[in-house]
Amino acid sequence: MAIFRAREVKQLSDTELLEQEQKLSLELIQERGKVSAGGATENPGRIREVRRTIARIRTEQNARRNA
């Protein structure tokens, strides 16, 4: 799954934003599941990157809703 920067998020359509948010949320759940089961993730920084990307997407969605 790709990590998006703020300017990349702004270029996505509303449906693409929703789709990407759902995919990233699922990935986050899976990564957290691995950690809680006692396993080690391949890339420990990935959880942080995914959380921040979800936040960027939600921020853009709120900005569009309020504009």
User: Average pLDDT, stretch 36-65?
Assistant: 93
Q: Report pLDDT digits (tens) over 15-48.
A: 999 999 999 999 999 999 999 998 887 888 999 9
Cβ burial of 51 (10 Å; 0-12, 13-18, 19+) is middle
Say if pTM beats, i.e. exceeds, 0.85: yes
- Kindly list the domain boundaries of the chain, sorted by start residue: 6-66
Answer CATH for 6-66 from 3.40.630.10, 1.10.1040.10, 1.10.287.310, 3.30.2010.10: 1.10.287.310
Quick one: pLDDT at residue 2? 81
Quick one: pLDDT at residue 28? 95
Is the pLDDT at 65 greater than 90? The verdict is yes
